[in-house]
Structure 1
Amino acid sequence: MEIIMKTENLAKDYGKEHVLKGITLTIHEHTFTAILGPSGSGKSTLLNILSGLVKPTRGSVWCGNEIISDFGEKQLAGWKRVEVGNVFQEYLLLDNLTVQENIKIGICPHKPSLSFDRLVRILQIEELLNRFPAELSGGQQQRVSIARAVIKSPRLLFCDEATGSLDEENSKNVVELLHNLQSAFDMTILFTTHNPQIARTADRIITMKNGAVQSDMRNEHPITARKMVWG
């Protein structure tokens, strides 16, 4: 598999606090990687740097043959617009737009989009298209936010605690749907979580603690989202 992204000695400081401490990683295309760790482990900071939302203090981030950590603001914005999709714990939908409108604002005019009809069918939101966010459950809103992030066919989809606001059943649904999307559209997905059960569904599990990678393992036997068991 091709390497789509890598980091070299990546560090992030906030004042005297060393949030990331020299992380070197490679990410392969068309894989689902879980970044597992408790609150404060640095996993969200790492994801935010990889997705171009935060600049590292030291070290480099590569996407393909480009060092995106060296990009200026305009170049970085262009890269994010075309190559990156983001899904957050908060749904960040626009209240005055319908579901259909919220999804379509994610379309990038500079590249072909995914099939709208196929996307909403996979995410099981065909019946919601004319509703507004206030009329949706949390799980439904997160599906819409996922559709908005992926309709532009990003090479990389970054999910930061994307099930953090959901109950067990909706968490399972969202994780299952993300795997379905990854399979259907050959996306590369990075998913931060504090939940080991969610991590067990991934191809690879990177465990973080105190701003460093504690372990990095290929998951030879991923479980399905339906087999996750909350403790």
Structure 2
Amino acid sequence: MNKNDLFYMAANNGDFVEVSYTGRIKYNNIVFDTTDEETAKNNKLYNKNAAYGPVTICIGNRELIKGLDDFLVGKETGKEYEVEVNAKDAFGEKNSRLYHLVNTAKFIKQNIRPYPGMQVNVDNAFGIVKTVSGGRTMVDFNHPLAGKEVIYKIKIDKIITDTNEKIKSYISKLIGEEIKFKFESNRLEIHCNVEEPLKKIMAEQLKKVIPEIEDVEFKAVEEEKKVGNKE
């Protein structure tokens, strides 16, 4: 196979792919998410701290909403697709159990005067104020896009076949930063400091999404420094 043929391959479940996309709400065409910096600026979504450009995901690992993740199976690289996703397979249907009455005094004590449409944090849960009446505030803790059909334009830029590139991408996603690692003979050595419970979770996830990995070992960065300074 010519390496250029990879550009036209169809993606399968379990493939690592780079994707570019823009999502908008169906009923009002409002853009709510995008990987494109210019689109973000044009739709008042721009965040100077965000990294724009194609993102790497593993198809079937639910790193995107279900409807979009499922749609990618069998799609070709280099082609832009448009797909409508129903509420159930997007951000879920509205759940009436996630509407809670909160004593308005709780907000007043924090110098917050709630009003309909206001986003609030109640015991580390974010919600939207629906009504304020009789000393009670109705807060909707559903996802802001719950109950809404959405439309995505999405393109698979390329399929990633290099194992080291897959590992680099997935580790960065798990812990939020790039770290040193070594992959050899199906054994992955990760150089970082993480708590024991997280090590187990990371190892299981890595072996699940990258079958080439059979064993995972963590090496503390401090230990490396001590060894490196030893004469």
TM-score range, shorter chain: under 0.3
- Greater percentage in helix: 1
- TM-score norm. by structure 2 comes to 0.25
Larger Rg: 2
Higher relative contact order (CA 8 A, sep 6+): 1
TM-score using structure 1 length: 0.25
